[in-house]
Amino acid sequence: MQATQTIEKPLTQVKSQKDLHKEVDASAAWSVSQIEALFALPFNELMFKAQETHRANFPDGDVELATLLSIKTGGCPEDCSYCPQAARYDTDVKANKLMDLDEVLEAARAAKAAGSNRFCMGAAWREPKDRDIEKVTAMIKGVKALGLETCATLGMLEANQALALQEAGLDFYNHNLDTSEDFYSSVISTRGYQDRLDTISNVRAAGMSVCCGGIVGMGESREQRAAFLARLANLSPYPESVPINHLVPVAGTPLEDQKPLDPLEFVRTIAVARITMPSARVRLSAGRQELGRAVQAMCFQAGANSIFYGEQLLTTGNPEAEQDRQLLAELGLKTKQSCKAEVLV
């Protein structure tokens, strides 16, 4: 097929994940047309390429379990069309103040006991104030002391704020691009695309790993999904973690009546993310509950190897931990625990 001739890229031999990530980043950039060609492949061929890439880069085949806690919910001044935490939308989400340190550490202990190895803290801010950073750094230090990887998503960051988080021991900072640049203004008007890129640059400059992905099914075209993945894959380096969210329409938000994305198109998106960002952890995030077990199984086959784990994902439901463990066990998948993969029993 002519399309496949334009998209072939050699697989890097398995080395350490850090070295592999650097080597792959040195390869030629992915064009939007190349990524569209991946999307257009026959389903089985695309899945084969994704699985081939996945096995070459993650020979243990383990799945990372991450827990996300909303440490400050609601009252956000932004107008993200998908988000029930925006103050301007009439949703069931009520604004709450920043959680106390002891509450956060209690949740982190519970997450670790349930099997999570990464603990993510999210706050509904446009950007944190310096006094907020001081409180969050105490949380980071406390969670790190429990032996968990730490991640935070707090909105836009200035360079000095990113450095303060890094010095506190933060491993990952999440800041999603959400979608392609040309579709972005259809979803958000209160924060520019460049603002997001600037925050990612500040995080990199501070020496932290990047968690960056987006949401599919907001009404974007396949070409725009391809452009979104191209932007992620061409970041230098591309993110270590790539969360792919399936839109959960929430009553009261502008996207409450958005037609769901076809499930196979979502699986294709996961497969393309795996091929274009070989050494990244591709995470199934919001919307897993709506996808169902069979589609999630196909996503793991397509190269997803990280999930948000637990009952709640910020303000939307998430499959309960026991259901997740049962599904992974039935699929014969392993979990990443303290840098060691163990078979679920």
Q: Under a CB-based contact definition with an 8 Å cutoff, are residues 72 and 99 in contact? A: yes
Three-state DSSP state, 173: strand
Number of CB atoms found within 10 A of residue 157's CB: 25
Name the active-site residue from 118, 196, 211, 288.
211
Residue with tokens 């209160």: 190
Whether 212 is a known active-site residue: answer no
How many helical (H) and strand (E) elements, i.e. helices and strands, does the chain have?
13, 13
Angle at 23 between CA 21 and CA 29, to 5 degrees: 95
Residue closest to 334 by CA, chosen among 2, 134, 63, 27: 63
Both tokens of 81, joined, read 């069309």
Name the active-site residue from 274, 283, 288, 325.
283
Q: Under a CB-based contact definition with an 8 Å cutoff, are residues 212 and 200 in contact? A: yes
Name the active-site residue from 118, 151, 268, 288.
151
Whether 120 is a known active-site residue: answer yes
Name the active-site residue from 83, 212, 268, 281.
83
**Gyration radius (Cα) of the chain, Å:** 19
218: enclosing H helix or E strand: none
Name the active-site residue from 76, 225, 288, 325.
76
Whether 151 is a known active-site residue: answer yes
Q: Under a CB-based contact definition with an 8 Å cutoff, are residues 218 and 259 in contact? A: no
Contacting residues for 240 by C-beta, under 8 A, at least 6 apart? 21, 172, 209, 210, 211, 279, 280, 281
Q: Under a CB-based contact definition with an 8 Å cutoff, are residues 20 and 12 in contact? A: yes
Contacting residues for 168 by C-beta, under 8 A, at least 6 apart? 136, 137, 138, 140, 141, 144
Q: Under a CB-based contact definition with an 8 Å cutoff, are residues 284 and 308 in contact? A: yes
How far apart CA 199 and CA 209 sit, in angstroms, is 12
Whether 299 is a known active-site residue: answer no
Beta-strand relationship, 281-284 and 241-246: parallel
Name the active-site residue from 120, 191, 299, 325.
120
State the catalytic residues.
76, 80, 83, 120, 151, 211, 283
